[in-house]
Every structure is written in C-alpha cells, then in structure tokens.
Structure 1
Amino acid sequence: MKILLAFATLFSFLILPNNAHTQGTITVDSITFDKILQRFHTVLLKFDDKFPYGPFQDSFKDLVDSVANAKDFVIAEVPVTDRDNRENYHFGLNYYAFKPDFPVYRLFIKDTPTPIKYVGDRTADDLKRFLLRNTKVWLGLSGTIELLHELSGEFIDATLNNDTDTQTLLLEKAQNRVNTILDTKDQKSGEMYLKIMEAVMKDGIEFFKREERRIHNLLKGKVTKEKKIELRHREHILLSFKPLKESVSKMADAAKDEAASANEQIQETTMDAHKEL
C-alpha cells in the first residue's frame, strides 16, 4: 500500500499540472469575483478542480486563446476543492456547480440578474457557439468576419424594430466592407453575410428558423467535405444575427427551472458536509 501511495504521489508531481491558473484568465474567489462583475460587461465563469487536466482543459485553453483580444469580456476560473479547507466549495454550491459535473460554466451578462448555464459538450467549438448565441463577443469561428459581425448585430436589431431604412443603410455599409476584402475565402464569407441580409429583408425574421433547419438537415445527410465546410461557415455566420435578448431570456427561464430542481441536491450536499465536520 505504501508503495502504491508513493507512486501516486510521484505520478501527480511528474504528470499532472502543478498550476491552478490558466494563462489568459483571472483566478477568482467569491469576493474577488464580485469586483470582476463590476468591471466587465460579460464574464464566463468556470468552476473546476484546482489542478485541471485532460481534453476538457485542452478545449478550455483553446477557447481562452481565441478570445484573447475580445473587448469588455473576461474568463474567470474558480479552483474548487472538497477536502481540508474546502476552497471555494460553497461558492460553487451557490451556482449549482457540483464536482461530478466539472468543469461547470456560467455566463454573466451585465444587467441580466440570472447567469446562463452552459449545457454543451465542453469542446472548444461548442463553447464558442454558446458565447456567440448569448453575447456580442466575436470569437473568430471559421467563416465569420469581424468587420461584419458588429453590423450583423445592428442589422438584426433594426429587423426586430421593423426599421427598413436602417436595414438598407447597414446592407450598403456591409457591401462596402465586403468590397475591401482581398482574401478569396473571406470574400465568399462576406457574400454569405450579404445574402442573409437580403433574404431577411425579403422574408423577414422567420428566414433564420427556416435556414437553420435547412442547414441542420443537410448536415445530417451525405454531403461532400467541401459542402460540409461551407454549411458550417454559414451556420457560424447565422449566429452573428442571433437576437441577443431572446436568447438570454430563454436561458434565464431555463436557469430558474434548474435552480428549483437543484435546491434538494444542495441541501443534501450541505448536510453531508456538516456530518463530516
């Protein structure tokens, strides 16, 4: 037994990471996190083991690298332990972050009272899509263009307000920006943005549901590798046009339902903790 324990200790020093902080993030606790919320408009909070490793952590690092230059957005880490002094243990319970589910992600948006729960596969691409659906942060997903991402948000706002004059002006502005693009692949993506805007002006907001359904069905079928890449690019571009308020509202309602069902689990966990003490 002593030999096995010695080997396990040696393994942890040689193989497992010895740094609880991921470069490009901010490590926080319950006190410092409140200060971060006051400073940034959008915060992605990650609850995880104190020394995370493996494919989930690799995906997390990929995500962090992709948002390094994002404005008014930050990723914060909460290292959690359930032994000794239970570092950040109760902080995690406050947001229904339980160790068996680690890593657990919560998205905080300014002036939105309830954080948005992430329920995806925890791959880098899924995390990026989650942020695109619920924030205005540009993440550089394949096929997307930063010059047109902000215009897309303005365009959808004008569409929801039935402001056809602003729609026309934004379409012209987008066309001018596409005309300045030199890269052939980016030009093709730029044309996708323009075609989507034109289709929305013709068919209205319902175009998005039909187009998303069409792409989803095509991706389930047999398509060439080139066509699949094109469809993924179009799918990513469509995310730039997502109505932010609608997405946040739906996720907030889901979070309230989750809170009600999680109360029982929190009570059981807290009772177990008192017993151990």
Structure 2
Amino acid sequence: MNARLAIATVVAFFLAALHSTLALKGSLSLDSITFDKVVPHFKATLVKFDIQYPYGEKHDEYGVVATDLKNTKDLLVAEVGVQDYGDHENQDLADRYGVKKDDFPVVKLFLANDLQNPLTFPSNEDFKADKIKQFVKRNTGIRILLDKCLQEYDELAEAFMSRDLSKENREKFLKLAQEKAANLKEDEKKSAEVYIKVMQKVIERGDKFVESEQERVKNIIAGKVSDTKKSEMQARLNILQSFLKTESASSEKQEL
C-alpha cells in the first residue's frame, strides 16, 4: 500500500512539473470555478479548450498569441484543460460550450455583452498566431498590433475609414501619412508604403476596395507561392485589417 502511495505521489509531482513546464506565459489557466469568476470582468476573453497537458505546434502558436497580447488592455488570454479520465475536470465547461475532444484545440472568444454565445475561431483557418489575433481584432474592436503593422498608422487608418469623413479630409490623412513616412526606419517605411497605397486606392475606388483587396491577397496566399511571397502577402493582409470596420459578433458565430 505504501509502495502504491509512493508511486502515486511521484506521478502527481511529475504531472504538476509537466503542467508548470507547459504553461504558457501570458495565459491564465481557468477551471470550472474560476471561469465564471474571472471572464465577466474583461471586455473580451480568448480561451483555448484543449487536453489537460497540451503540446505541439498549435499550443506553441497559442503561446505566441498570449505573449503578443499580454499588454492588451481589456483582453484576457486563457486556457481550459479538459481531463478525459479520472474526475473529468472541466468537462462540464467543455459541454456547456459544445466543445468536443475530437476538435481540440478549440479557441473561443467571449464578449462581455454576450458570454453565453462565444464566437469560435474557424476550424478551416490555419491555426496561426496572426490568424487568431486577426480574429480577435475583427470581432472586439480592441486595438491589437499585428505583425508588420505600425501603431500610429493603425490609428490613422481607423480615422481615415470613419463613415462621415469627406474625400477632402481623407486626402489630408493621406498627406499626413506620407509626411510621417519620411522619418521612419527602412523596414517601417515598407509597411507605411502599404498603408499609403491602400489610402490612395480607397480615395480612388471607395471603401469597398479594402474588402476586395483582402480577398485578392487571401487568394494569393492560398495559391502556390514562395514562403517569402506568402510572408509579404500576410503582412499586407494584416495592414488591410487595420482598415476594416469591426464586424458584428453575429457574423462570426458558428454552429457546433
């Protein structure tokens, strides 16, 4: 009996150490009790439902999200580990939100004004950090800086796309963006040039240009292109996201 107890103790310490090792920086581990105490206090909460001790590429990508969003106000990045043996810890949470083991990992976005109906990160999307951050940015209106984006230019893009802005005022924002580019570092100038070109095209063709260009870039990324070209197009897609108006929550909901 003592031998069994000793083995059980060693296993418990091993699992605790493993969990500590795999815990993601910037992500909070939630359970059936803490979930309802914590989530309502944030404007938005991103939660990954997964096995109790997750690992692998997708877990690493979520770790990048947690790190990148660690200083984002009003947004919590969290995880729920679901146990499929023993006490089946947190299985009740998975059942509450229709999360099935075969679909792990499942990422859901909880909005403060509708916690009972979270949005689900599309299963047909690549499980990549930038894709997940786009998903959050698109559905929350929370300012998130995506790869190759510039905070000052993101703010300009948001103001530029205001519904009540006249063509004359948009041209003023365009001029301001061009002037600011002169003082940027070389790599930042490349990003600024994309913002500027998008502004020019919107003035020429109207707001619909942003969505049509987004679709065009997505098609290029989905095609047979080099990794370099794909990276370049992803950066463009990230910048285009700064020009898109926040979508209504209902547009992203999925039936499980």
Alignment-derived partner of residue 19 in structure 2: 18
Q: Say if 1:219 and 1:231, in contact at 8 Å, map to a contact too.
A: yes
Query: Once the two structures are superposed, what CA deviation does each residue of 1:133-155 show, in whole Å capped at 9, x if it has no partner?
Result: 334342431x2112222332333
Q: Which moved more, 1:98-107 or 1:25-34?
A: 25-34
Tell me which amino acid in the other structure corresponds to 1:17: L
Structure 2: which amino acid aligns with 1:130? Answer: F
Deviates more, 1:103-112 or 1:119-128: 119-128
Equivalent position of 2:119 in the other structure:
116
CA 1:50–1:223 in structure 2 vs 1: closer, same or farther (change >3 Å)?
A: closer
Asked if the contact 1:30/1:88 (under 8 Å) is kept, the reply is yes
Cα distance in 1 for partners of 2:224, 2:90 equals 48
Amino acid at match of 1:97: V
Q: How does 1:165-176 map to 2 (within 5 A)?
A: 167-176=170-179
* Post-superposition CA distance 1:176-220 (Å, at most 9, x none): 543432x11211211211221222122112102331233244445
Task: Say whether the 8 Å CA contact 2:146–2:238 is kept in structure 1.
Answer: no
**1:230 aligns to what?**
232
Tell whether the 8 Å contact from 2:29 to 2:79 is kept in structure 1 after alignment.
yes
2:107 aligned partner: 105
Q: Distance in 2 between matches of 1:47 and 1:223?
A: 33
Alpha-carbon distance in 2 for matches of 1:219, 1:84: 44
Q: Which residue of 1 aligns with 2:69?
A: 67
Check 1:37–1:221 CA distance in 2 against 1; reply closer, same or farther (3 A cut): closer
Q: How does 1:1-277 map to 2 (within 5 A)?
A: 13=14, 17-19=18-20, 21-112=23-114, 114-119=117-122, 120-135=125-140, 136-141=142-147, 143-156=148-161, 158=162, 161-164=163-166, 167-181=170-184, 183-219=185-221, 227-246=229-248, 248-252=249-253, 255=254, 258=255, 262=256
Structure 1 unmatched runs, 5+: 1-5, 263-277
CA contact (8 A) 2:26 2:66 kept: yes
Residue 169 to residue 116, structure 1, CA distance change in 2 (3 Å): farther
- Please give the TM-score of this superposition, normalised by the length of structure 1: 0.74
Structure 1 residues 186 and 95: CA distance shift in structure 2, 3 A: same
CA distance in 1, matches of 2:120, 2:171: 36
Higher helix share: 1
Q: Aligned-pair RMSD on alpha carbons?
A: 2.9
